[in-house]
Structure 1
């Protein structure tokens, strides 16, 4: 099962669009996960035209997005449990916020966003993945999104691109 992972798209107007390389990846995805800061449901509408979308709301999302998505959720894929959360909060790093969101739940993977900093690493027995942002790289050299493959084993990848894609 191929999962495209994204977050922090921050698209609130019709002029800004999701990058072609991300949308091309969504064409072959079995599932798309968005870890919050959509800014509008237009992003959901676009992604859902490519397949099933799971997601959560982030700290900049307005009521329409908050009414449509939960703050956090766990989805099961091929026997693996994936926790999804944006990762915002007070007095902890984004990574620690994401871990705290699922401290009492057994998950194999935690997908989070908020920092716009791509990350793949294990904490104890949980794979953490932050896909970065495909539209708002901030001071980083590249935009990014993630891919998870969930078969007999988990494979995670961050795809970096320069914005012309």
Structure 2
């Protein structure tokens, strides 16, 4: 299964649309947005893409956005959540507090050996690392506002292959 992963788009419609173009071109089966989509209007391109999606609540996401996601057939998750996708165990979360704490938590969860993948956002920094057979992935920020780099990721759950795409 091929999963498109995006985080921290912060209302940047152009970046969201570019990410979805990439995801459609390469044929992702599902999109996971790891939070901080922000406003309801930023959900429209995802809804129009036709790609199944799930969205985590980020620390900047509004209650209205959550209600809209649910009403439009998307899957909404508070953060963190454990998932099983195509026989693989994932733990996904947005993040919290300082970026070093969020990264520490992601790596610590990977060390547990309980998951095949740990996906997180919040730090706005790309991070791909294998820890004890678990892949830790942060796709970075789609908006490019903090790092100047707009990125997303894909995860092939069968091949355990992660790719980072610049938007």
Deviates more, 1:91-100 or 1:47-56: 91-100
The aligned counterpart of 2:162 is 156
The aligned counterpart of 1:17 is 13
Please identify which structure carries the higher helix content. Answer: 2
Cα distance, 1:25–1:53 mapped onto 2, change above 3 Å: same
Q: 2:48 aligned with 1:52, yes or no?
A: no
Q: 2:41 aligned with 1:35, yes or no?
A: no
Number of corresponding residues: 155
1:67-146 superposed matches below 5 A: 68-89=76-97, 93-99=101-107, 106-140=114-148, 142-146=149-153
Q: Whole-Å Cα distance in 1 between the matches of residues 97 and 80 of structure 2?
A: 13
1:113 positional shift: 0.6
Query: Structure 1: any 5+ residue segments left out of the alignment?
Result: none
Q: Whole-Å Cα distance in 1 between the matches of residues 99 and 122 of structure 2?
A: 14
1:46 positional shift: 2.1
TM value normalised by structure 1: 0.80
CA RMSD of aligned residues (A): 2.5
Query: Structure 2: any 5+ residue segments left out of the alignment?
Result: 68-75
The aligned counterpart of 1:26 is 23
Q: Is the 8 A contact 1:26 1:47 kept in 2?
A: no
TM value normalised by structure 2: 0.79
Q: Is the 8 A contact 1:110 1:129 kept in 2?
A: yes
